[in-house]
Amino acid sequence: MVGNIKPEYHSLRELSTNGVSTDTSLVKVESDDGRLRLRFTYGGKRYAIAVGLPDSKVNRLVALSKATQIELDIASGNFDATLSKYKPPKATSSKQKHLNVADLFKQFIEAQTKAKELHTGSLCRYTATLKHLERYFPSKPAELLDQDDADGFVQYLRKQVSTRTAKDYLILVQACWKWAEQSLSHNPWSNVIGKVKPVPKQKVKPFTVTEVQAIVDTFRNNRYYRHYADFVTFLFGTGCRFGEAVALKWKHIADDCSSVWIGESVSRGNRKTTKTGKDRTITLTAKIAQMLKERKMDHHNSEDLVFPAPSGTTISDTKLRIRL
C-alpha cells in the first residue's frame, strides 16, 4: 500500500516566529510513513529525495535546511540534477547506487526470500515483476530513475496486464525502493499506485442451469474426465475458488455433509490461507450434500482430500486445463 504522507513545513523561510506557515517555497518537506523526504518540480521534472531520517522536530530542521539549499542552488543556477549533492551520507557510498533497475530488484528478491518464506505464488509475482522491469528498463541505473520513468512504466504495465496485476507488481517495485531507501537518493514510486485506475468492464454472464448441467454431463460421460465430475459439480454448486475446493479435506466437511468450512487453499502445490486471508462456512444444498455423502463412504480418514486427482494427490489446475 502507498504510505501515509503528511505535508510538513516547506522551507526555513516558511517558519514565522509564531509557527504559522507562510509558504512561498519550491521544495516541500513531507513525512512518508514516518520518514522525511523532499519533493519538488524543476525543469519540468518531479523529484522526490529521501532525507534518510525519521520524522522528528530536530530532523525536520535538517530537512528544511536541505530544502533551502536546493532552492538556493536552483536560484543561482547551481542545481545538481544528479541529486548526489543532496543525498544522505550513506547513499553516496552504497553499492546499490551503481546497480541497474533489474539488478536492484534481484537483490530485493534475494533479501525477501531470506527474510521470509515466500509461497510459490508470491515468488511468481516477484519473478514476473522482474521480467517486466528487465524489458522496460534493460540497462537503466536505479539511481537515475525519475518520476517520468516511473509513470512510463505504469502506462506500460496497464497495456500488458490487468489493473489488479499491475497494482500487485507496482506494490513490489515500491517496496523494493523502500527497502533500498538508504542507498538511493529518491523514490519515484511513492505515488504511482494511485494512478492505476480500474477500467470498467461488463460483467461476465453466468452459465444458465441448462449450460451447467451440460458441462457436468460432459465430464460424467467422458471416460477420461468422469473422475472430475463431482469436483466440477461442487464448484458450480458452491462458488468456491479452484484452490479452495482442491484443498478440502474430510475434516472440513460437517458430519452430515450439510456445510463446509473454507479456510485453506492450494496453489502450485502449496497449502496456505484463502486468497482473502479469511475463513467462511458455506451451507450446502441437498444435492451437493448427497453427493458428498456418497463420496464419504469410500473415505475414512479425516485428512483425506475430498476431491483428489486420480493419482490421489491434489488436483493441479495447470494440468487439468492442459488436458481439457
Spans of all domains in the chain? 5-86, 95-195, 209-323
Confidence of residue 93 (pLDDT cuts 50, 70, 90): very low
So what's the pLDDT on residue 255?
Answer: 92
B/e letters for 296-317, b = 16+ CB within 10 Å, e = fewer, are eeeeeeeeebbbebeeeebbbe
Confidence of residue 216 (pLDDT cuts 50, 70, 90): very high
215 near 207, Cβ under 8 Å? yes
Confidence of residue 38 (pLDDT cuts 50, 70, 90): very high
Residue 322, pLDDT > 70, answer: no
This model's pTM is above 0.75: no
Residue 107, pLDDT > 60, answer: yes
**Cell digits of residue 154:** 505504469
Average pLDDT estimate for 3-32: 55
Average pLDDT estimate for 136-147: 92
Q: Of the given ranges (45-59, 82-96, 109-123, 287-301), which has the lowest mean pLDDT?
A: 82-96
Q: What percent of the chain has pLDDT over 70?
A: 85
Average pLDDT estimate for 179-189: 85
Residue bearing the bigger pLDDT, 292 or 323: 292
Fold of 209-323: hpI Integrase; Chain A (1.10.443)
pLDDT in tens, 260-281: 999 999 887 778 888 777 899 9
Confidence of residue 41 (pLDDT cuts 50, 70, 90): very high
So what's the pLDDT on residue 117?
Answer: 63
pLDDT in tens, 230-265: 999 999 999 999 999 999 999 999 999 999 999 999
So what's the pLDDT on residue 89?
Answer: 57
**Cell digits of residue 153:** 512504466
| Cell numbers 442451469: residue | 209
So what's the pLDDT on residue 271?
Answer: 84
So what's the pLDDT on residue 35?
Answer: 86
Task: Spell out the long-range contacts of 199-206 with Cβ–Cβ below 8 A and sequence spacing 24 or more.
Answer: 199/163
Walk across the sheet containing 5-7 and list its strands. Answer: 5-7, 28-32, 35-42, 45-54
**What is the phi-psi region of residue 77: left when phi exceeds 0, alpha when psi lies from -120 to 50, beta otherwise?**
left
So what's the pLDDT on residue 254?
Answer: 94
Confidence of residue 197 (pLDDT cuts 50, 70, 90): confident
Query: What residues contact residue 260 under an 8 Å CB cut-off, 6+ apart?
Result: 238, 248, 252, 253, 254, 281, 282, 284
Residue 7, pLDDT > 70, answer: no
- 209-323 matches 95-195 in CATH topology: no
192 near 222, Cβ under 8 Å? no
Fold of 95-195: DNA polymerase; domain 1 (1.10.150)
Residue 90, pLDDT > 80, answer: no
Confidence of residue 63 (pLDDT cuts 50, 70, 90): confident
Q: What is the average pLDDT value for the chain, to the nearest integer?
A: 84
Residue 19, pLDDT > 60, answer: no
Average pLDDT estimate for 139-146: 90
Return the SS3 of 184.
Answer: coil
So what's the pLDDT on residue 137?
Answer: 96
